[in-house]
Amino acid sequence: MSGGILFDIRRYSVHDGPGIRTTVFFKGCPLNCLWCHNPESIMPEPQPIKRCRQLNGNKEWVDEMVGRQYSSAEVMENIGRDLLFFEESGGGVTFSGGEPLLQTAFLLELLSLCREAGIHTAVDTSGHASAEAFKEMAAQTDLLLFDIKTTDNKKHEAFTGVGNELILSNFKSLNGKGPAVIVRIPVIPGFNSTFEEMQAIVKVLKSSQAKIEAVNLLPYHRLGRQKYQALGMQQPPVFKPETTPEQMQQLMGVFEEAGYKVKMGG
Amino acid sequence: MNDRVVFLRTQSLEAENVLSHERAVLVTEFYRDLLPENEPAPVQRALCFKHILENKSLFIGEKELIVGERGPAPKATPTYPEVTLHSLEDLDILNSRPKVSFEVSEETRNVYEQEIIPFWKGRTNRDKLMALMSPRWKRAYEAGIFTEFQEQRAPGHTVLGKKMFGKGMLDLINECNAAMDGLDFDRDKQASEKAAELKAMKIAAQALITFAYRHSEALNELALAEKDTARRNELQHMAAVCQRVPAHAPQTFHEALQHYWFIHLGVITELNPWDSFNPGRLDQHLMPFFAKESAAGTLDREQARELLQCFWVKFNNHPAPPKMGVTALESNTYTDFALINLGGVKADGSDAVNEMTYLILEVIKEMRLLQPSSMVQVGKKNPDRFIHKTLDIIRTGFGQPSIFNTDAIIQQLLRQGKDIEDARNGGASGCVETGAFGTEAYVLTGYFNLAKILEVTLHNGFDPRTQKQIGPETGDPLSFNTFDDLLQAYKTQIRYFADIKIEGNLIIEQLFATQLPVPFLSLLIDDCIANGKDYNAGGARYNTSYIQGVGLGSVTDSLAALRFHVFDKETISMEGMLEAIQNNFENYGEFRRELVFSTPKYGNDDDYADQQATQTFNMYFEAVDGRPCYRGGKFRINMLPTTCHIYFGSVTGALPDGRLAGKPLSEGISPVQGADHKGPTAVLKSAAKIDHIKTGGTLLNQKFTPSFFDDPESYKKLTALIRTYFRLDGHHIQFNVVSADTLRDAQKHPEKYRDLIVRVAGYSDYFNDLGEDLQNEIIARTEHSE
């Protein structure tokens, strides 16, 4: 049995795929997106975080570790706890992160254990992984939550720290035999919140053979900013101006016109 | 809502809660001047009932379609001096207390001073009851180990079955005659007692008919004086309805509602039973009338809706009779717990959801009234649509209906020995209490403070608050070598206090059986007539006495903390732990944080903590379940608090889970407020580890913000959540959908939130009518879930 480093296992997660799900958060990400709202997911190793505890109005700051080693048996034990909820709701488990493919062996083992146990699986990925790892993962997964941020390679590198060649080629490798795919696009003001950006992404989708079930547009929010401070990390930039609900609707229209089922939020 | 309903609803919402002395005067008059000394108790009680119904003033309101009030006007609430007497001081408290108050007029005060108090002082049932209790009972009662439900209110908690929707009072009188004819005075040594009970039942049945005839006459008089033709026709029609019911079985939808309403008034006038009275499976009972009239074209859906809405207002006009002292603390509300049941299964086991179910759900949503309460019974055979329609109401933040597991209720009733059809015809009443409707006398007898008993165990049987040795010496905790030693001591204490509670209950049940029989209620519940025996004396087909356990979450976390810190990890000695709780954690701030934040807690699907819940539950179950009650049935347990977790908390010192002295205990089987942090599936898993089938009801509160209800997808997920909990045999779950900010604003500006209803614990209440501590608790719970 192998193991890996996770930073959370969250139950009754209702925004990461169908039904009631348990989301397993892998620690470590090859990307460094400037809008990331889960900064504790980036560093592959466990790290300290300051947390506020309030008791009878008294606030106290304490150091805790975020992330630790889990064995696959421990993860499966946790997942199994909500099996009946998965059955009743058509739910299952979602492997998210961070980037789960950064710990490929661990991920593949968990996927195969879930398949044996008859549990529906989803992988929430940036797509930034070796073609081989990606392919193996896709063969073992029921649903992919695939993030596409921009088709512009230079911009991608400037805002996420890596180019998008691997991502786009992995996306292209998907075909009708592979898992169902939900494309997730973070809509970031000043980065990709334009018609042109969305139309370019539509082109990528159209050129693929993947079973695209839906497109989710995820509005930018600043909820994660406090965490940077708690982790002792530099504050990320604030992206402005905020995209209005009307603008979001218009951007969603681009995908609707192209024939995709679109939803705001995951 | 049409104009009539808007008018009646507003009138009901704006009516002041007033104390009425009318019933007290009539009862005093009867016992002072008219009492036939030589008649047996049931006949005396029936004649008293008759005296009230023949002489009480009638109220027929403008625009009403369903008539009859217990008092002289809506929310004018009577007292029951034969059960409990209010002193002048009590009346002043009732008049002035900030919550659940009743206006007491100068006249009422004078009548009490001159007539009621002089006659009843020292003669009430409460006086007799308290005089009969042993010193050890009183020590435990005063320490807050348990409460006594029958101290100020009569046994009741029961629910009407199908029978009364097919029978009139005249039919029941015939049944009494037949039972009388069957008596064998030569061989049955109880025959004369039975004859007296049957005679009393007949008097009571006739009294209700007379009461209805008085309404009929009054309605005819009003019709004669009425200028408006439409209203005149209505009044004449209502007069005719009151001529037919409750004398005869109802034939129309309107008659069925008026019929039940007279019966309801009869039950709550005869005595002041807990949980008033309840029509039970209302959708089942009304559907045949609706179907027949729809087919005949005499009643459409809108007319049925209007009648139901008028019926709803009637419940809301009747607050629970005024409670004092501990009784007020354990059930601090105007709500009188008439819990309408919808859905479930029919007697043959098939899906019982019908058109009437959906119509009544619409009525609940539109009316948004405190009373009646409502619940849905969900079993594996009921469709998801039924749950979705229920969620439509719950999402509005109104706290109703609560959701129950039909399949679990049936299993509970079967375990208790009920016939399968009687079990399927059952449901839940009050907060969450399981019962066989129309065939069972199931009586709640009081709350049982599991957390206080742990505190007493940690003090070797001594109660630090009252400074008395109230339990046996089960050992100095410093001498416990293992966690199991502690558990054994706790088990002994639970058993000891259960013995005391039951010993008291047996005396109290006998007191009600012999001194305060209820011949009218006995007419309604099978097989009291056939047995010639009173409801309070064991005449019903099934008899159950419940003791309601409180504080499971607090006890679980405290035991887990003791096991974890003192015995397993040895982070603190037993001496240190005892010193910490005795000092209410003063100078133990760091350790208290450790207890609150870094110790296994119930509600997180963590077996280490949850094991203590099942252990405590089993100890409590073994101490109570199956022991005989006076009425020929058995004692059982259920797990619910109403508002008693606040009272019990106020008498319980600091606990090893980090809870400070005097703070509320956990409620029902819910986790300690704020202790669960792994989401709802983990809470449900923890809660399902105790065996719900061995109870007569458990209560689980789950807070949700409106965001959990925002699209069809989230409805499906909530439905799956409910269905999974029920697959695990969970008995009941209720959702509170409201934001903390809304509640805080309501605390600041109560005037803006007169209609704000929140789910408290097994029932809903107006937020404004809750005590500040309970308001704060609900805000804290809400905050936690946001």
CB count within 10 Å of CB B185 equals 10
In 3D space, the residue among B432, B316, B457 whose CA is nearest the CA of residue B755 turns out to be B316
pLDDT of residue A28: 98
Among candidates A253, A194, A256, A248, which has minimal Cα distance to A221? Answer: A248
Report whether pLDDT(B80) > 60: yes
Report the distance separating Cα A68 and Cα B276, nearest Å.
56
Q: Which two tokens stand for residue B694?
A: 């061995």
Averaged pLDDT of chain B: 95
For chain A, how many structural domains are there in total? 1
- What's the gap in Å between the CA of A187 and the closest CA on chain B? 22
pLDDT digits (tens, 9 = 90+) for B195-206: 999 999 999 999
B310 catalytic, yes or no?
A: no
Inform me whether the pLDDT recorded for B761 exceeds 60.
no
Confidence bin at A57 (pLDDT 50/70/90): low
Residues B680-693, mean pLDDT to the nearest whole number: 97
Within its chain, how far is the Cα of B770 from the centroid? 17
Q: What share of chain A is helix, strand, coil (3-state, %, to 5)?
A: 35, 30, 35
**ipTM field:** 0.94
Q: Give residue B66's pLDDT band: very low, low, confident or very high (50, 70, 90).
A: very high
Catalytic: B431?
Answer: yes
Report the pLDDT averaged over residues B368-380.
96
**What is the C-alpha separation between B514 and B123, in angstroms, rounded?**
15
* Nearest one of B437, B373, B414 to B734, comparing CA atoms: B373
Question: Averaged over B530-550, what is the pLDDT?
Answer: 98
Q: Identify the CA nearest to B210 among candidates B170, B260, B171, B253.
A: B170
Choose the catalytic residue: B48, B242, B310, B431: B431
Length of chain B: 786
Residue B294: predicted pLDDT: 98
Furthest CA-CA distance within chain B: 86
B776: contact with A, CB 8 A cutoff? no
More confident residue, A109 or B333: A109
Quick one: average pLDDT of B492-504?
98
Contact B678 A11 (CB under 8 A): yes
Query: Has residue B314 got a pLDDT over 90?
Result: yes
Size of interface A-B (CB pairs under 8 A): 55
Q: In the predicted model, is pLDDT for residue B502 greater than 70?
A: yes
**Full residue range of the structural domain in which residue A168 is found:** 3-264
Q: How far is A24 from chain B (nearest CA, A)?
A: 13
How close, in Å, is residue B714 to chain A by CA atoms? 8
Q: Is the pLDDT of residue B68 over 60?
A: yes
Question: Which pLDDT belongs to residue B774?
Answer: 78
pLDDT of residue B270: 98
d(CA A209, CA A188) in angstroms, rounded, equals 27
> Which residues, at least 6 apart from B707, have a Cβ–Cβ distance to it below 8 Å?
none
Q: What whole-number distance in Å separates Cα of residue B408 and Cα of residue B253?
A: 32
Specify the higher pLDDT residue, A55 or B34: B34
Q: Which residue of A has its CA nearest to B725?
A: A85
Task: For residue B414, count CB atoms less than 10 angstroms from its CB and return exposed for 0-12, middle for 13-18, buried for 19 or more.
Answer: middle
Is A223 touching B (CB cutoff 8 A)?
Answer: no
The alpha carbon of residue B493 is apart from the nearest alpha carbon of chain A, in Å, by: 32
* pLDDT of B623 over the 90 cut: yes
CATH of the domain at A20: 3.20.20.70
Q: Which pLDDT score, from 0 to 100, does residue B751 have?
A: 65
Residue A224 has a pLDDT of: 65
Question: Out of A12, A87, A90, whose CB is closest to B679?
Answer: A12
Q: Is-contact B769 B100, C-beta < 8 A?
A: yes
Exposure string of B760-778, with b = 16+ CB inside 10 Å and e = fewer, is bbbbbbbbbbbbeebbebb
- Distances from the Cα of B307 to the Cαs of B252, B311, B342, B765, in angstroms? 12, 6, 18, 24
Q: Which chain A residues are Cβ-neighbours of B680 within 8 angstroms?
A: 12
Residue B786 has pLDDT above 70, yes or no: no
- pLDDT given for residue B716 in this prediction: 94
Indicate the helix (H) or strand (E) that contains B402: strand B402-405
Report pLDDT for A3.
94
CA distance B52 to B23: 7
Question: In this predicted structure, what is the pLDDT of residue B471?
Answer: 98
d(CA B384, CA B634) in angstroms, rounded, equals 36
Q: And the tokens for A136?
A: 């193996």
| Residue B773: predicted pLDDT | 76
Please state the pTM of the whole predicted model.
0.94
DSSP B479: G
In angstroms, how far is CA A74 from the centroid of its own chain?
22
B156: closest CA among B48, B268, B56, B261?
Answer: B268
User: Residue B485: enclosing H or E segment and its boundaries?
Assistant: helix B483-515
Would you call A142 helix, strand, or coil by DSSP? coil
SS3 A227: helix
pLDDT at position B156, please?
85
- Residue B188 CB coordination number (10 Å): 14
What is the pLDDT, as a whole number, of residue A249? Answer: 94
**CA-to-CA separations, A124 to A138, A147, A212, in angstroms, rounded:** 11, 8, 14
Any chain B CB within 8 A of the CB of A65?
no
- Are B685 and A91 in contact (CB < 8 Å)? no
Position B779 scores a pLDDT of 83
- How far apart (Å, rounded) are the C-alpha atoms in residues B49 and B154? 15
pLDDT at position A132:
97
Task: Report the alpha-carbon distance of residue A120 to residue A141 in Å, rounded.
Answer: 8
The alpha-carbon gap from B771 to the nearest alpha carbon of chain A, in Å, equals 20
Average pLDDT for residues B283-293, to the nearest whole number?
98
If you count them, how many residues does chain A have?
266
Please tell me the distance from the alpha carbon of residue A109 to that of residue A79, in angstroms, as a whole number.
14
Identify whether the C-beta of residue A165 lies closer than 8 Å to the C-beta of residue A128.
no
Mean predicted confidence (pLDDT) in B555-582? 98
pLDDT value at A1 more than 60: no
Question: Given the structure tokens 């037993």, which residue do they identify?
Answer: B574
Contact A12 B680 (CB under 8 A): yes
Partners of residue B717 in chain A, C-beta under 8 Å: 14, 19-20, 89, 91
Pair type for strands A21-26 and B18-19: unpaired
pLDDT reported for residue B146: 98
Share of chain B above pLDDT 70, in %: 97
pLDDT in tens, B93-114: 999 999 899 999 999 999 999 9
The answer to whether A88 contacts B720, with C-beta atoms less than 8 Å apart, is: yes
**Cβ pair B483, B8 in contact under 8 A:** no
Taking the C-alpha atoms of residue B174 and residue B574, their distance in angstroms, rounded to an integer, is: 69
Give me the residues paired with residue A9 across strands. A24
In whole angstroms, give the CA distance from residue B654 to residue B661. Answer: 4
pLDDT at B514 over 70: yes
Q: Which of B697, B542, B547 is nearest to B622 (CA)?
A: B547
For residue B169, pLDDT beyond 80 = yes
What are the tokens at B224?
A: 């004669």
Contacts of B716 in chain A (CB under 8 A): 19, 89
pLDDT tens digit string along A106-126? 999 999 999 999 999 999 999
Catalytic residue, candidates B69, B234, B293, B433: B433
pLDDT grade for A223, boundaries at 50, 70 and 90: low
- Start-to-end CA distance of chain B, whole Å, equals 34
Any A CB within 8 A of B677 CB? no
Cβ-count burial of B747 within 10 angstroms (0-12 exposed, 13-18 middle, 19+ buried)? Answer: middle
Residue A55 to residue B592, Cβ atoms within 8 A: yes
